[in-house]
Structure 1
Amino acid sequence: DVDEYYNGYANKTLWPLFHHRIDLTAYERSYGEGYERTNRRFAEVLQPLLQPDDVIWIHDYHMIPMARDLRRLGVKNRIGFFLHTPWPARQLLVTLPHHRRLVKSMFHFDLLGFQTREWMELFQRYVEVEAKGVVRPGGRVEAFDRSVQLGVFPIGIDVDGFLAARDSLLGQKTYDRIAASAAFRSMIVGVDRLDYSKGLEQRLLGYEQFLEDNPSMRGDVFLLQVTPISRDDVDTYQDIRARLDALAGRINGAYADMDWQPIRYLNRTFRRDQLAGIYRAARVGLVTPLRDGMNLVAKEYVAAQDPEDPGVLILSRFAGAAEQMGEALLVNPFSREELSDAIRKALTMPLEERIRKWKALMQVVRDTDVAHWRDQFVRALLAES
């Protein structure tokens, strides 16, 4: 079941499809069968544990059919679903065999939550066109002889917890270590799980373009790219790891000097305290996914900054976070020139402008933290009872 359900349908079918990479999407019948079978098993295990007043909150694309399977077992409880990833455009979703069955199963939930209005509207459009459904005012949709309430609930971070991590002994030690090794150079940071959706190749190429466009700034800046390995048993991830290794090596070989290396590329994980220290030390946060449900690295980077000397966030306009974080430097990650220009702008931005942007972004991060996200979703789910 792990191969068919998790490695198969979840990560070789739904994940690439939901991130608009149908060229990487594997459509195999056994994957779909494993996905359905495993979700039925989850429902069978959960059902005996439920009390009449329990409220059920199911998360992400791994468990889309689970409400349907619980209903078949007689469960009457309120069931909500939150999708952490983007929802795909209708024209791409219809490439999925049995796409109607998948979407129909979602109408057994009482509430469907999306990260952004864009993802919710894509779902509504599918329902209108493919299911001949109706979108009602207030976010309720009707199709398949059922109805479900939709809502937008952008996820946040634990702001106070992250600030505590930044100010911890390990966070401070990490900051001091980075500052010492930077030797007065400006650091750009990227922190991303190894995944083709994160735009890592495009990011390195954009940074290379910056080095080419700004020879006078070489030696004064470096990119620290932290990329923990994930899903290494999936061929696609092995391929991208090899390409990134080669690309980082080529750029370093072409531009490095005896006392300076333009890219520090690390395939390892760090504790939250360490990441907070790394973010704090970075003059620029480079968050440039090709498509992303939200992206909490952007919010963590903002939270970690020194209010009196904050860094600048460069954010892909294709990340869900861009809908909230308009004061970031929004870029098209597919454009090397746009990335290059944004990096230069971030590195040369006056302190007054950096502080103004940071204050606006930090207000968003604080106002929409993880507790707010939780409370808003649960309140909406209970309001439907």
Structure 2
Amino acid sequence: MSRLIVISNRVSAPRGSHSGAQGGLAVALSAALREHRGIWFGWSGDITDQFTGHINFQREEDVTTATIDLEEQDVEEYYNGYANRTLWPLFHYRIDLAEYERGFAGGYQRVNERFAETVFPLIEADDVVWIQDYHLLPLGTELRRRNVTNRIGFFLHIPWPPRRLLSTLPEADELARGLFAYDVIGFQTEEWLEAFRDFVSKEMGAEIDGDDVILDGRRVTAIACPIGIDAAEFRALAGSTRARLAFRRMRDSAVGRDMIIGVDRLDYSKGLEERFLGYERFLREHPEECKEVFLLQIAPPSRGDVSSYRKIRTTLEGLSGRINGAFADLDWVPIRYVNRGYSRDELAGVYRAARIGLVTPLRDGMNLVAKEYVAAQDPEDPGVLILSRFAGAAQQLSEAVLVNPYSAEELSDAIMLALRMPRDERVRRWRAMMDNIEEQDVLWWRQRFTDSLMSAKRLQDA
């Protein structure tokens, strides 16, 4: 059996099968690595004075991790710069926030070369390589330059932008051409897959042949492969001791009111400002509901070194303060705004206690919070998911209340609809969504991609 080499920007070492902090992607990749005796390679998250290429190996629960440290300039140009100030906003349709600097692009390329040079000696003849996400788009090309002929796959966890948007990137053609170094490319949805095909065919002259895309004689398989959650594991988390305690704590603190929950990394793509404005409109249009509901927004900070993230935090603090000042009473606050993270088992209990799950990103590759909220619900009395139609998850969870997150009016109407929704309709919608979540879970995603990759022809055999 071939070994699997997973390469990602950061490595999430296994933390034990009962850890509530283990994320869905880490669970899926760890399972694949155990099955294929693999290695997970990436950045440690630590900074070194001088890059040496030293690899730190660790082994836990039959998964081997291999990490390297990066220099401060690497982190600033590759991670904070090109990955998160150029590609992230552009791929989320925010060209107004995208910064194009040659230093960023140079650092991005340099770190991808360092990844390739360091991981290259670890790759054996029959290994299969699976590269994750936008941080490492050129890595396949760099491995091919070092005569790696193994099967190499790439999965993009975020959206692929429309052709006209991507064309604003100075290196767009070069970036897209680099994907033809891979054997299989995976996208979260058909929309992102079609956007990729549209760009490479109309801007670069590629041919489309079924699932394959051909450019300059190189044939690559491109598929839509939506990531899921470990539904069984998350249901079990919802019944754990910590989840039950969190559920009881939230129900006690609600004192009979209906809770609306939002859980998002603090990021402008998540639509938090628009969400607060939609909730404010609901309070204004339905004063009779004011003291009957509250919004709990959990938003752990991220990427604090990037100015646009500091700005969104300041904006949300001001907005939540203004709304609370305008509507709060002696015994009620409309928004509980929390800037810290919680373990997955605690969140499972919080989700279960919420009458409404509010998941309204302006653009999202998938959004697993939507699926976790559904999986945590009581089948006999489930809550209602309000979901942005611009999240990748909306294509699978069509029985959610779908909204345009830019419209405060739609958000207000959706909250009212969810609060008034009868139990039998809530159960029907929940069952339809849960069927999809259980059928196309994270293990299905991993198996679908790795099956496609394992069956691809090796470069030397093509």
Deviations 1:240-265 (A, max 9, x none): 00000000000000001111110000
Q: Are 2:149 and 1:76 aligned? A: yes
**Equivalent AA in structure 1 for residue 244 of structure 2:** Q
- 1:29 is matched with 102
How big is the shift at 1:238?
Answer: 0.4
Counterparts of 1:121-136 in structure 2, within 5 Å, are: 121-136=194-209
Structure 2 residue matching 1:20: 3-state secondary structure: coil
Corresponding letter in the other structure for 1:247: L
SS of residue matched to 1:318: coil
For 1:103 and 1:248, locate their aligned partners in 2 and report how far apart those are by CA, in whole Å.
Answer: 41
Quick one: distance in 1 between partners of 2:318 and 2:350?
A: 25
Look up the match of 1:9: 82
- Aligned counterpart, 1:44: 117
Cα distance in 1 for partners of 2:217, 2:306 equals 39
Q: How does 1:1-385 map to 2 (within 5 A)?
A: 1-137=74-210, 139-385=211-457
CA distance in 2, matches of 1:240, 1:172: 33
Contact 1:19/1:292 (<8 A) preserved: yes
Q: CA deviation at 1:348?
A: 0.7
Indicate the SS of the match to 1:51.
Answer: coil
Give the C-alpha shift of residue 346 in structure 1.
0.4
SS of equivalent residue, structure 2 residue 96: helix
Following the alignment from structure 1 to structure 2, what is the Cα–Cα distance between the partners of residues 66 and 144? 19
- Per the TM alignment, residue 53 of structure 1 is displaced from its structure 2 partner at its CA by 1.2
> Deviation of residue 226 (structure 1)?
0.2
Higher helix share: 1
| Shift, 1:382, TM fit | 1.5
Q: Tell me the amino acid that sits aligned with residue 117 of structure 1.
A: E
Q: Distance in 2 between matches of 1:17 and 1:340?
A: 29
How many angstroms does 1:224 deviate by?
0.3
> What amino acid does structure 1 have at the position aligned with 2:138?
P
Identity of paired residues, percent?
58
Moved over 4 A (4+): none
Answer whether contact 1:84 1:115 (CA < 8 A) is retained. Answer: yes
SS of corresponding position for 1:190: strand
Q: How far has the Cα of 1:145 moved from its partner?
A: 3.6
Report the Cα distance in structure 2 between the residues aligned to 1:337 and 1:159, rounded to whole angstroms.
Answer: 33
CA contact (8 A) 1:187 1:283 kept: yes
**Secondary structure of residue in 1 paired with 2:371:** helix
Corresponding residue SS for 1:264 = strand
Q: Displacement of 1:328 after TM fit?
A: 0.3
Larger relative strand fraction? 2
Q: CA deviation at 1:147?
A: 2.0
With the length of structure 1 as denominator, give the TM-score of the two structures.
0.99
Encode CA deviations 1:37-93: one digit per residue, 9 max, x unaligned.
Answer: 100110111110111111110000000000100001010110000000000011011
- SS of the residue corresponding to residue 355 of structure 1 reads helix
Q: Distance in 2 between matches of 1:33 and 1:143?
A: 25
Q: SS where residue 321 of structure 1 aligns?
A: helix
Secondary structure, aligned partner of 2:394: helix
Partner of 2:160, secondary structure, is coil
* Cα distance between partner residues in 2 of 1:366 and 1:146: 36
Q: Secondary structure at the match of 1:172?
A: helix
Post-superposition Cα deviations, 1:72-117, rounded to whole Å, max 9, x if no partner, equal 1010110000000000011011111121111111000000000000
For the residues of structure 2 that align with 1:162 and 1:149, how far apart are their CA atoms?
32
What are the superposed Cα offsets for residues 196-238 of structure 1, whole Å, 9 maximum, x if unpaired? Answer: 0000000000000111111111100000000000001110000
Three-state SS of the structure 1 residue aligned to 2:140 is helix
What are the superposed Cα offsets for residues 335-358 of structure 1, whole Å, 9 maximum, x if unpaired? Answer: 000000000000110000000000
Query: How big is the alpha-carbon RMSD for the aligned residues of Structure 1 and Structure 2?
Result: 0.7
Q: Which amino acid aligns with 2:144?
A: R
Report if the CA contact (8 A) 1:104-1:144 is conserved: no
How far off its partner does 1:159 sit? 1.3
Consecutive unaligned residues of structure 2, counting only runs of 5 or more, are 1-73, 458-462
How many residues align structurally?
Answer: 384
Aligned partners of 1:196 and 1:181: how far apart in 2?
29
Tell me by how many angstroms 1:144 deviates: 3.6
Shift of 1:146: 1.8
Tell me the SS of whatever aligns to 1:239: helix
Secondary structure of 1:58's partner? strand
Q: Deviations over 1:258-288 (max 9, x none)?
A: 1111000000000111100100000000000
Q: Tell me the TM-score normalized by structure 2.
A: 0.83
**Matched residue of 1:147: which SS?**
strand
- Work out the CA distance in 1 between the residues paired with 2:266 and 2:216: 38
Cα pair 1:131 1:144 within 8 Å, conserved: no
- The one-letter code sitting in structure 1 at the alignment partner of 2:130 is W
